[in-house]
Homo-oligomer: A and B are copies of this chain.
Amino acid sequence: MNDLFADRMNKVHKSFIREILKVTEEPEVISFAGGLPHPKSFPVDEIKEAVSEVLSGDCMEVLQYSTTEGYRPLREYIAQRYSKQGLKVDADEILITNGSQQGIDLTGKVFLNKNDKVLVENPTYLAAIQSFGLFEADFRSVPLLEDGVDLDILQRILKEEEIKLFYSVPNFQNPTGITYSKAKRKQLARILEDEKTVFVEDNPYGEIRFLGEDIPPVKSYLEKGVLFGSFSKIVSPGMRLGWIVAEPEVMEKIIIAKQASDLHSNYFTQRVVHQYLMDNDVDQHIEKIKKMYRDQRNLMVEMLEEYFPENVHYTRPEGGMFLWVTLPEGLSSLDLFNLAIKENVAFVPGKAFFTDGSGDNTLRLNFSNSDAEKIEEGIKRLGKAIYQLM
């Protein structure tokens, strides 16, 4: 039956994380494996009010089919919010997607032929590997330094190879938590300006900066490229609402791809989220999330300092939901996983985030979804497992 499926399906397998998450769902396991926002970050009462507002009066239209691009006032809101961040975008350059994940899918559909080269950060977002992989991309990777990608290596790759897309998560990257400095964003934009490579900027965590100063997206220094955003981390991930920003020529193709994919994103919840944004101070809400995640991140770092051996290194992210751990060379995080799960604590081994097969000694820890007590106890147990491994 192997000739039944398209060739692209041979290259992609069930997500490793997905399989791991099944193990970690047991109630006695303290899990830093997932990538979930904290449920306390959801504005439940405000959503309730927004729903009852949207469903009042002559509301039948909110249950009807709608336009492929999405609800225009919601797109206008997003455009206005960008203008505050120093990025000039018109509502026509925005299309509503099912989370920024669908941004990746539509971008692959619009740009990628089989064997086109896609450059990713090393490591990178796992579901981007899956998604571009289904368009039979040929992956190249560029290392991440503390302040973003290694520009020297990037330039060398761009010179040597014809790279179709460069996929990047400049803010609080998943999995590493690394953020591109402002200087690096400008340099990167200058390098890409003269290249045919399409810059794909994914920014699901950008609003959740709890330390340091906000930095404008790379797109604000670069005329071309596509940019993704998401309501998943600031309103609700279950509603699957995000967006793509693209120049008109590209947007025209994205509209065609979106229409063929699912006609349009859930219109009812587009209306609900828009109503929520109109009736509430979303910045105040985001401040609450930031405070919560900052406390959790700080506690996790504190615990790591106390319970991890000194030759284990980790990032100290200024936002987002993840922290990245590097074990001494030669140790395997998969072995650690097996020891840790006996202690009822879980994480994601890092190897899956690398397209070049490296990363054996790395692992990802999520801090957004765990309360203080679990962070304290979980890191204690994980430290114990690391000492066992050594």
Contact = CB atoms under 8 A, between A and B. Distances in A.
A113 B39 CA distance: 41
B266 A266 contact: yes
B64 A42 contact: yes
A157 interface: no
Interface string A1-39: 100111111001111001000000000000000011101
Given A42-B63, A109-B6, A238-B63, A263 B127 contact: yes
Interface stretch (A98-106, A173-181, A293-301): A98-106
Contacts of A18: 68, 259
A236 B105 contact: no
B42 A257 contact: no
Contacts of A232: 65
Interface string A259-275: 11111111111000000
B134 A257 contact: yes
A268 B238 contact: yes
A239 B48 CA distance: 17
A341 interface: no
A15 B68 CA distance: 11
A237 B61 CA distance: 10
A111 B3 CA distance: 9
A62 interface: yes
Contact of A198 (B4, B237, B260): B4
A16 to B, nearest CB: 12
A260 B9 contact: no
A40 interface: yes
A303 interface: no
A9 B37 CA distance: 36
A329 to B, nearest CB: 32
A48 B55 contact: yes
A189 interface: no
Given A47-B63, A63-B237, A98-B263, 14 more contacts: A5-B110, A6-B110, A8-B109, A8-B113, A36-B64, A42-B60, A51-B51, A65-B232, A98-B261, A102-B262, A105-B260, A130-B259, A133-B260, A269-B269
